[in-house]
Amino acid sequence: MGAATGGQRALTDRLTGFDLPTPRDWPVLRQLRGRDKLGRGAAVKSRGSETLTARTHTADRVVKSVCPYCAVGCAQNVFVTDDAVVQIEGDPDAPHSRGRLCPKGSASLQLTTGSSREQHVLYRRPHGTDWERLDLDTAMNMIADRIVSTRRDGWEWENDEVRTRRCMSIAALGGATLDNEENYLIKKLLTALGIIQIENQARVCHSSTVVGLGTSFGRGASSTLPGDLQNSDLIVLEGSNMAEAHPVAFQWVLEAKARGATVIHVDPHYSRTSALADMFVPIRAGTDIAFLGGIINHVITTESDFREYVLHYTNAPTIIREEFADAGADGIFSGFDPDKPGYDPTSWQYQDAFMAAASGQRDQEGNLTAQGPSGEGQSSGDARGKPELDLTLQHPRCVWQILKRHYAGYTPEMVERVCGIPQNVFKKVCRLFVANSGRERTTAFVHGVGWTQHTIGSQYIRAASILQLLLGNMGRPGGGVMAMRGHASIQGSSDIPTLFDTLPGYIPMPHAHTHHDLDEFIAGDAPDKGFWGNMRSYMVSLLKAWWGEAATAESDYCFDYLPRLTGSHSTYDTVMEQIKGTVKGYILYGQNPAVGSANAKMQRLGMSKLDWLVVRDFSLIESATWWKDGPEIESGEWRTEDLATEVFFLPAASHTEKDGTFTNTQRMVQWHHKAVEPRDEQRSDLWFTYHLGHLIRRRLADSADDMDRPVLDLTWDYPTEGRWDDPSAEAVLAEISGWDAGGELLSAYTQLKDDGSTSCGCWIYCGAYADGVNQTARRKPAREQNWTCSDWAWAWPANRRILYNRASADPQGRPWSERKALVWWDAEQGRWTGHDVPDFQADKPPSYAPPDDAVGPDALAGDDPFIMQADGRGWLYAPAGVGDGPLPTHYEPQDSPVRNPLHRQQRNPARQVYQHPDNRYHPDPDEPGADVFPFVATTYRLTEHFTAGGMSRWTPYLAELQPEFFCEVSPELAAERGLEHGGWATIVSARGAVEARVMVTDRMTPLVSDGRVVHQIGMPYHWGRNGYARGDSMNELSSMSLDPSSHIQEVKALTIDIQPGRRPRGKARDELVKRYQERAGITAETGMAP
Amino acid sequence: MSDAQVTREGLENVRPGREARIWSASNGGRRGEGPVDHPRSSYYGNSIINPPVWEELDIAGYLFLGGLAGASSILAAGGDLTRRPTLARRSRLCASAAIAGSLTALIHDLGRPARFINMMRVVKPTSPMSIGTWILAAYSPLNFATSASDLTGIARPVGRAAGLGAAALGPAVASYTAALIANTAVPAWHGAHREMPFLFAGSAASAGAGFGLLAAPLAENAPAQRMAMAGAVAELAAEQLMERRLGMVAESMRTGTAGKRLKAAKALTALGAVGAATLGRRNRVGAALSGAALVAGSAVTRFGIFAAGMASATDPKYTVEPQRARLDATR
Amino acid sequence: MGGSGDGLLNVLLAGGDPATESGYDDHPPRMGFFTDTSICIGCKACEVACKEWNHVPEDGLNWTGWSHDNTQGLGADTWRHVAFIEQRSPVGEHQSNFQRDADSFRWLMSSDVCKHCTHAACLDVCPTGAIFRTEFGTVVVQADVCNGCGYCVPACPYGVLDKREDDGRIFKCTLCYDRLEVGQEPACAKACPTDSIQFGELDELRARAAGRVEQLHEAGVVEARLYGHDPEDGVGGDGAFFLLLDEPEVYGLPPDPVVTTRDLPAMWKRVGIAAGAMLAGAVVSFVGAGRE
């Protein structure tokens, strides 16, 4: 099915005609005439073969595009004939993908032109039992009506007597698969409508990366690019299944191996990545901080750190306040309030200097769970006063000493007890780290969601960051922390966020209560040193971009138009609000929470309480059809007729059917051109948002109500083009990039002003449209430029490819090593030069020492490489910004079979948990009933599928490669439980029960942790009930339990039980789960205690 | 440590990823032992060659009928020359019917029967099916011509000449199919390529002669009787040799469906031969029964050989073990 | 006529360039694949890229439990097939602190494809000339000629060709003949993320492969060996050859394939003799029986 795509003739098609030779070229005669006497070659060539040619050769045009699947962002050539896409291939000119594509990228022709995409709007009326057709205009108008009325009903001017000016009754989810321009318009429109519950896949995938990297280095994005891995001496893949999830980027790991680099893969499950690694280290899921802490301890105790780097570029010498008390044996830092539960981080501060995270202080007053970079937010310090340093590192309260004490307990013996890693193996890893770091060599970390999706996820990233700072690997060739992100533009949807807690460019969303005006907001949230010192310029330029003429000094640049936060409004909080009945309208943009979000049951329950739901996608995903065929319908728990939710399904346009930019995993913003117009009622999200905006504005046109001003004053005029009046994506990109009062396009964020004379939709993207040239569309072939390829597309910030690259040079500006040169100070020219654009003021000499009264960037010295940090240093110790402590500490996952051997505190005390009958947690390891869920489950992706399956389960060429949901178990566990290879297993948690085919394999290995054998079960999570390849969803088992700083869910480590055989059908399925809950003695309180 | 460098000039010692080292020396010094303890013989028991996609009834039938036709043409011509009119006429008709059936089966088995004509596109000595098609192209018309003239009484001299022509091609028709199936990668067929022609020729002779015994009156069946015995002996002897030569692959002929069929075939052929020898000239019924047994024996032989081929193609061991043995012998 | 074919058939196993042997006077160099399985990451991009380019039908959902292989083998609807072999073998490393009987493990992955043999049985036995040798030395089934006789299917010593049931004809890898015609590389090689599939002039590939084996042996990977590279082997060398890390049969490949037509002259001889004997036997039967 769906195989014949494009309508062009490939060899087999071309030759289906019957070859009837004329008498004179009868092959027998040709045999006699020519040299091919045996009739095996020239003599028997048919006319079909004679006239054969490739459709890539005869195509009318080749359109430059970008793969819509993962965040590697492979460049594609789209071949078009007769206005139909006939072939999609890799673009050989691309520096990052070099013309290669993985199976998903290779299937993008079938994805976009195949028969599985919906062509028409579908409508389910309240209590309706089936879909009905609806024409697009009617649907758009109905949706506009509902938004207007639901917004009015749910409007909130104040919350606890504090101005909030917002609408709590509407929420949106999705954006990582969309273009930056689409996310920009969505955030712009919905924010103007007062909607704050705007979220996307970035929340559930890498929000903790943003917190971890942001607090440590200043920017919450990958510090490097896969292509730079070729320069590494050691590559440590941990929490990443790179060869499977990012196959094309993995070519750079092989490139490094070809040059002699060593590759280590640390993972609970032996994957295709492990198969290519030099060393595979099995680890118990959820214990990476113990492992990394052990290495940190090794580095410190053996003093094998890169001391010069540590002294000058990290906050190791910084002295911390007396009030600070380390976690110690009990595992709780000072400032903990068990009633919240959560931390007041004031005691973590620097001595005599106040480092506040950008939105930390405010937020903490109201809600202690969302600190600092508050989830997707950006970190920076508010450096009031000057930190006190001890360059001897001897002061008992200096960060170095605190670090040393904190990790003293993380010994090789302890690492083995916690992680199940043999001490000799662990020591070997330590040796490799040390041997491949320092002045002459560099080590790179590659991580993915294996690290991020934990109740302590942000601290996983922090731990790696600490190690990289100690070893001097940040900002240097072959070093850094490579965050492998999963969606085509999930980095972009964090930068230009469809996220609740940030505005474009990681400016924090204002919080309620004390933010009365712009000045107070800036005063409270912006530091005075580093580039965040210019936050007012970024903010005012954003307000100008949104409210144009209306945004004047007199109107306080319409700052008051922004809705305010009162704590966490993450997608999981939104689900609870839906269940409570606060949220009545929900828009899904290419996201499938009924399969992809933790505790799928809660997701469906939330949607079942809605008045209306809008789903924009390619096909009828589970989140669109739960009301007629979801698990609750199957079990008889719900009756379709009883469900009042009104559902609109709007078919979406594909990447080949619209212009726009994706931002890939290396912060590279790439333009993809529209190849063909979308068909029938398929439309881009840019089209949807733009026209929806106009429909809403038309309805409010005559309103005098102050709540409607932001919508009516919104700048919303974009030129339209094409058959369907798509707004010009290029115009939107230009607005994002920014212009000055004279309408001149800006080239760098340093040009932004705080007086309203500049307009810029996202300050870190300023310059993406410099000189009126679409910089993101540049495609200068890799072979024609140096290895950083800065003329291919455009990267934020300021087209820098490797962040913090000032740190690749010593304090005097010379490369630490001539074999690791990246940027260096050119004394003659008096500027920084090198392979990459310097991530530093180009003309600031290494010797520059700031005057005491200096503010902003000028307050940073010539050897302060971390220019977003208020103290210009990498943070080994985070005085603010991370909700659960200044230093990563090992806590067990929410559901774990093992008692925490390192600290008395079992779980992350500040984690976010939700009390709900459908979201029960498992007992503590030593409580009675704990053994009811004796095994650890971990989840991962397969090469052949994509996330929640929306773009792969409907694509036959991919579906056939991994047709069924399966679980991977070790032979030992199979023997213990009587599981049969190829048979079925039922897997149960307190949340649900699923069935999967059993794969018995040596790739899963048991571990001994704290004296007990721990069996781990691997589960890919791609499947659902719809599509071509179907199966149960792993997320029926997972729970909503979140990391406090980023609100990311824990799905990489949970406990379950597994039994042979298929799961019960109908009611019996729920009854089975209930029985398990009873046997385990689970109550509303279980697992809730801090 | 990597020998990659990024100097101020740029990247140095760049090498393509395809030169990546695997399981590098950093890995526990377990090098050099070579793989051990894992299934060596096959890939999940999957067949290595793809088994024939031929329909058994079509192709085994085609093999049998071709043999029957070829031999019958010879008997017909002989009967004609030696004034055995009944033997001649009935064998002639048998040959025509058989070859018609054979052609039908061949065409029916094509994935695109309408394209049978493409068989005439080329003459390929490397393809027994091509050569066979050309043989049939010459043989069948002669055969039909002689039968037609015999039935209608028109142009008898021409008909008789055609009959002699058909007889001349008869042996080829009867035996080329041996090369056809032997010229494949099917272990049981290719391995027997030396004996298969004799087996088929013998089987064909006993089938044709068997029909002669069945169809001709005692007065005319002397040649059929002798040819039947000769054919049967040849068939059985060739089969013995073949099984010895095949070694372990012969298992595919002794077991399963093939085993049952070939045992039955041998019994029928032997019985038919003995019957022909003892009753062939004395008792009309006995002669007929012996003849029927021989015809049946020949048919079952072809179906047995076909089944053996399928079995040997499906189980990878029949492909791997002989090749492995060959390699080990040369090492 | 067995004899007559015989003379001609002597060229069957002649060495030399197959395109020249097949009557192309001036033709491009012989092109082929070198599949280096040591760097295969089992992503199956080759399978999908091939299907997309050649419009090969998706052929059903069938979870096999053969590690990650749900394709099983080459056939009419699978022209590239990635094999997965899980082995307890001392060359891999797989150590937890749990003592299991074998703490060593490795995972072999290999992308199989039509070998485009120098001496191709499928091409030899094809009665219609549907299968032919191209000017690039590759072997292609011409779908406008093939009548689905199926003879090539059992003739192939590698089990590459098969009949597409709903179509009736035979299909296999064409080494993207249409792309080669316009100087483009085959879809699978173009997609391959790690260059495990390398396309190029066969001579150059053979040289590169020899170097690669040497390199791996130096690195201590003693089990690395080439398969199908040797012009002296039973099929005169493959146009698509491989670097393997274990015996061929482990990957589902024949250890020592021989083109069946190598024995065809002998077969024709014996067919001739058998036919002659049959005729002689008949004559004797009649002569002995005398006339009525």
Tens digit of pLDDT for each residue in A861-900?
999 999 999 899 999 999 989 999 999 999 999 999 999 9
Buried b (16+ CB within 10 A) or exposed e, A487-509: bbbbbbbbbbbbbbbbbbbbbbb
Instruction: Categorize the per-residue pLDDT at B38 as very low, low, confident or very high, splitting at 50, 70 and 90.
Output: very low
- Give the percent of chain C with pLDDT over 90: 84
Rounded-to-integer distance, Cα A472 and Cα A188, Å: 40
Give the per-residue pLDDT at A368: 30
The mean pLDDT of chain A is: 94
Size of interface A-C (CB pairs under 8 A): 278
| Predicted confidence (pLDDT) at residue B40 exceeds the cutoff of 80 | no
| Minimal C-alpha gap between A958 and chain C (Å) | 7
Residue in A with minimal Cα distance to C27: A42
* Contact between A180 and A736 (Cβ < 8 Å): yes
> Residue A16 — very low, low, confident or very high, per pLDDT cuts 50/70/90?
low
Residue A515 reports pLDDT greater than 90: no
Cβ distance of C190 and A100 shorter than 8 Å: yes
Say if the Cβ atoms of B7 and A432 lie within 8 Å. Answer: no
Please determine, for residue A356, whether its predicted confidence score (pLDDT) is greater than 70: no
Determine the residue of chain A that is closest to B25 in CA distance.
A278
Residues of chain C in contact with residue A416, where contact means CB-CB under 8 angstroms, are: 97
The partner residue sitting opposite B110, judged by closest CB among C149, C252, C266, is: C149
- Residue C291: what pLDDT? 57
Share of chain C above pLDDT 70, in %: 91
Q: Who contacts A161 (Cβ-Cβ below 8 Å, separation ≥6)?
A: none
CA distance C156 to chain B (A): 6
Which residue type is seen at A164? T
- Give pLDDT tens digits for A254-310: 999 999 999 999 999 999 999 999 999 999 999 999 999 999 999 999 999 999 999
**Omega prior to A341 cis, within 30 of 0:** yes
Chain A residue with Cα closest to C133: A41
Residues A107 and A114: their CA atoms lie apart, in Å, by 10
Q: Answer whether residue A374 shows pLDDT above 50.
A: no
Q: Which helix (H) or strand (E) holds A403?
A: helix A399-407
Neighbours of chain A (3+ CB pairs under 8 A): B, C
Read out DSSP for A439-454?
Answer: SS--EEEEE-HHHHSS
Chain B adjacent subunits, 3+ CB pairs under 8 A: A, C
- Spatial contact of B284 and B277, defined as CB atoms under 8 Å apart: no
Report phi then psi at B10, rounded to 5: 140, -160
- pLDDT category, A340, cuts 50, 70, 90? confident
Average confidence (pLDDT) over A686-710 = 98
CB A525 within 8 A of CB A559: no
Specify the pLDDT at position A647: 98
* Chain A residues with beta carbon closer than 8 angstroms to that of C57: 3
Alpha-carbon span C138 to A218, nearest angstrom: 57
Q: Looking at chain C, which residue has its C-alpha nearest residue B203?
A: C278
Pull the structure tokens for residue A283. Answer: 């680890």
Whether A2 shows a pLDDT value over 70: the answer reads no
> 């909080």: which residue's tokens?
A573
Phi, psi of A1004 (to 5 degrees): -100, 130
pLDDT at A1018 over 50: yes
pLDDT reading at C99 higher than 80: no
Instruction: Tell me which DSSP letter residue A656 carries.
Output: G
C-alpha dist (Å) from residue C26 to A35, C16, C32, C136, C264:
12, 14, 18, 11, 30
- A221-257 per-residue burial string, b: 16 or more CB within 10 A, e: under 16: bbbbbbbbbbbbbbbbbbbbbbbbbbbbbbbbbbbbb
- Give me the mean pLDDT over the A1027-1056 stretch: 97
Chain A hits for B8, Cβ within 8 Å: 815, 818, 821, 824, 834
Residue A75's nearest CA partner among A783, A779, A678, A958 is: A779
pLDDT tens for each residue of A805-834: 999 999 999 999 999 999 999 999 999 999
Three-state SS at A662: strand
The A residues from 10 to 49 touching C (CB cutoff 8 Å) are 10-19, 27, 34-49
Question: How close is the nearest chain B Cα to the Cα of A42, in Å?
Answer: 12
**Is the backbone peptide bond immediately before A971 cis, with ω within 30 degrees of 0?**
no
Q: Which residues of C touch A413 (CB under 8 A)?
A: none
Compute the distance between CA of residue A42 and CA of residue A25 in angstroms, rounded to an integer: 12
Of A44, A230, A279, the CB nearest to B122: A44
pLDDT at A11 over 80: no
Q: Going by DSSP bridges, is the β-strand pair A61-66/A481-483 parallel, antiparallel, or unpaired?
A: unpaired
**pLDDT(A382) > 60:** no
pLDDT band at B34 (very low <50, low <70, confident <90, very high): very low
Could you give the C-alpha distances from B300 to B65, B71, B207, B263, B293, in angstroms and in order? 12, 17, 11, 9, 10
Q: Do A254 and C142 count as a contact with CB atoms less than 8 A apart?
A: no
Asked if B32 has any chain A CB less than 8 Å from its own CB, the reply is no
Let me know: does A398 contact A315? Beta carbons within 8 Å.
no
Give Rg (Cα) of chain A: 28
Average pLDDT over residues C249-263: 97
Tell me, what DSSP letter sits at residue A504? G
Contact B15 A258 (CB under 8 A): yes
Q: Which ranges of A568-702 would DSSP assign to H, the alpha helix?
A: 571-580, 593-596, 600-608, 622-629, 631-634, 685-700
Query: What confidence tens digit (pLDDT) does each residue in A480-505 have?
Result: 999 999 999 999 999 999 999 999 99
H-helix or E-strand spanning residue A939:
strand A935-940
Rounded average pLDDT over A656-660: 98
Check CB contact of B205 with chain C, cutoff 8 Å: yes
The answer to whether residue A936 scores a pLDDT higher than 90 is: yes
pLDDT at C290 over 80: no
Give how far the C-alpha of residue A168 lies from the chain's centroid of Cα atoms, to the nearest Å: 25
Mean pLDDT of A706-721: 98
Q: Who among C39, C167, C267 is closest to B18 (CB)?
A: C39
Q: Are the C-beta atoms of residues A795 and A665 closer than 8 Å to each other?
A: no
Long-range contacts of A1079-1085 (CB under 8 A, 24+ apart): A1079/A929, A1079/A932, A1080/A922, A1080/A923, A1080/A929, A1080/A930, A1080/A932, A1080/A933, A1080/A990, A1081/A923, A1081/A927, A1081/A928, A1081/A929, A1082/A920, A1082/A921, A1082/A922, A1082/A923, A1082/A929, A1082/A990, A1084/A915, A1084/A917, A1084/A920
Closest residue in C to B105 (Cα) is C149
Q: Give me C3's structure tokens.
A: 């004899």
Distance of CA A785 to CAs A91, A233, A684, A747, A782, Å? 16, 24, 34, 22, 6
Tens of pLDDT, residue by residue over B308-319, are 999 999 999 999
Tell me the Cα Rg of chain C: 23
pLDDT at residue A179 is higher than 60: yes
* Average pLDDT value over all residues in chain C: 92
Contact B16 A39 (CB under 8 A): no
- Cβ burial, residue A673 (10 Å; 0-12/13-18/19+): middle
Strands C31-36 and C80-87: unpaired
- Compute the distance between CA of residue A193 and CA of residue A167 in angstroms, rounded to an integer: 7
Q: What is the pLDDT of residue B31?
A: 39
Counting every residue written for chain B, the total comes to 331
Closest Cα in chain B to C148 = B111
Average pLDDT over residues A545-562: 97
pLDDT band (50, 70, 90) for residue A520: confident
Q: How far is A309 from chain B (nearest CA, A)?
A: 19
Tell me the average pLDDT across A1019-1039: 97
Cβ distance of C278 and B33 shorter than 8 Å: no
The mean per-residue pLDDT over the stretch A790-794 comes to 97
A532, A868 in Cβ contact below 8 A?
yes
For chain A, give the number of residues.
1090
Which chain B residues have a beta carbon less than 8 Å from that of C285? Answer: 78, 209, 223-224, 226-227, 230
Copy the structure tokens of residue A657: 């059917």
3-state secondary structure (DSSP) of residue B113: helix
Interface check B23 vs A, CB under 8 A: yes
Whether B10 contacts chain A with CB within 8 A: yes
**Percent of chain A scoring above 90 in pLDDT:** 92
> CB-CB: which of C169, C252, C275 is closest to B48?
C252
| Banded model confidence at residue C6, pLDDT cuts 50, 70, 90 | very low
Question: Residue A408: what pLDDT?
Answer: 98
Least confident among A757-761, B34-38, C49-53, C138-142: B34-38
Does B324 contact chain A (CB < 8 Å)? no
Helices (H), chain B: 56-81, 85-108, 128-152, 156-182, 187-190, 196-215, 222-246, 251-254, 256-279, 284-314, 316-330
Using CA atoms, how far apart are residues A238 and A287, in angstroms rounded to an integer? Answer: 12
Instruction: Chain C: give the shortest CA distance to residue A990, in Å.
Output: 28
Number of Cβ within a 10 Å radius of residue A430: 20
